[in-house]
A = this chain, B = another copy of it.
């Protein structure tokens, strides 16, 4: 599938940022998944919620369904995800999300994952080879410096050009080192589970 070429990144480009809620690793069950629709790094246009299985394999299907069924669908231009693993090791297939929604996907992580540790952790799970294949297929990892001062974050992407992805990550990181659509989805998901959440800069 061809890349989406952005003529320009508008300051209020609509972005869906996805993060999961906290959960108890010892328990089994469903985990909350939140999507926040942002205009650039400024305004919240809406919120989406669904659930996924802890260490399951349903996150890709859930994200695609949430997007394609949404009334926000027509306005959305980009999907962002906080890493590619949710609810433990439920792995988001960003290429499949791009193919099935038509929307480019940017993955942002605060830290570089230790791939050896990830591989070791998923090896006891069903379909681990498929999970590993998806993780490895998420594309090259690039550092992005979102603020003049402060550490870099790390970015992967599919369906768009690197320069566009980098511009979107920088544009939306208005409040902290990470994009607002991800920071706010994290705050919402955490509050739903724990009763309260706090920002960090």
Residues of A within 8 A of B (CB): 34, 43-50, 66, 70-72, 175, 183-184, 187-188, 190-192, 195-199
B44, B70, B197: the one contacting A187 at CB < 8 Å is B44
B43, B183, B192: the one contacting A192 at CB < 8 Å is B192
* Complex: A72 Cα to B72 Cα, angstroms: 32
* Complex: A94 Cα to B159 Cα, angstroms: 51
A25 to chain B, nearest CB (A): 22
Can you offer 28 A-B residue contacts whose CB atoms are under 8 A?
Answer: A43-B175, A43-B199, A44-B44, A44-B183, A44-B187, A44-B199, A45-B198, A45-B199, A46-B187, A46-B191, A46-B197, A46-B199, A47-B187, A47-B188, A47-B190, A47-B196, A47-B197, A48-B191, A48-B195, A48-B196, A48-B197, A49-B191, A49-B195, A49-B196, A70-B196, A71-B196, A72-B196, A192-B192
* A184: chain B residues within 8 A (beta carbon): 44
Task: Output the nearest chain B residue to A187 by Cβ-Cβ distance.
Answer: B47
Per CB-CB distance, the 3 closest pairs between chain A and chain B, nearest first, are A47-B191, A46-B198, A45-B199
* A197: chain B residues within 8 A (beta carbon): 46-48
* A196: chain B residues within 8 A (beta carbon): 46-49, 70-72
* Complex: A188 Cα to B66 Cα, angstroms: 16
Contact B44 A198 (CB under 8 A): no
* Complex: A48 Cα to B199 Cα, angstroms: 12
Contact A198 B72 (CB under 8 A): yes
* Complex: A123 Cα to B50 Cα, angstroms: 38
A3 to chain B, nearest CB (A): 28
